[in-house]
């Protein structure tokens, strides 16, 4: 048997969790149906999925851009006065 260690991306881990959860829910493997580890996996994946699938756009783009610009101008003024 060959074992290799590789880094898994968050996306790959999520896919692995989805596959495990679908196997749990299929009922084909009764041994894992009520296992504490699989229950923890399902809970953790549910929390991850809520954050991952959250809508990114907040509607505050102009406010954030204005605040960023004001911060940049203030920082430039401060760094110029220190020279």
Segment among 5-14, 20-29, 43-52, 57-66 with least mean pLDDT: 57-66
**Per-residue pLDDT, 43:** 92
| Other residues' Cβ atoms within 10 Å of the Cβ of residue 44 | 11
* Closest alpha carbon to 52 in 8, 7, 19, 9: 9
Query: pLDDT tens digits for 30-80?
Result: 888 888 999 999 999 998 888 777 666 666 778 888 888 888 888 776 655
Whether residue 10 contacts residue 44, with contact meaning beta carbons closer than 8 Å, is answered with no
**Per-residue pLDDT, 44:** 92
**Per-residue pLDDT, 71:** 85
């Amino acid at each position: 048997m060959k074992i290799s260690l590789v880094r898994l991306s968050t996306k790959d881990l999520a896919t692995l969790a989805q596959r495990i959860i679908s196997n749990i829910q299929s009922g084909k493997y009764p041994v894992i149906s009520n296992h504490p580890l699989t229950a923890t996996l399902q809970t953790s994946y549910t929390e991850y999925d809520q954050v991952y699938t959250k809508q990114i756009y907040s509607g505050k783009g102009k406010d954030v851009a204005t605040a960023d610009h004001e911060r940049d101008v203030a920082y430039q003024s401060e760094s110029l006065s220190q020279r």
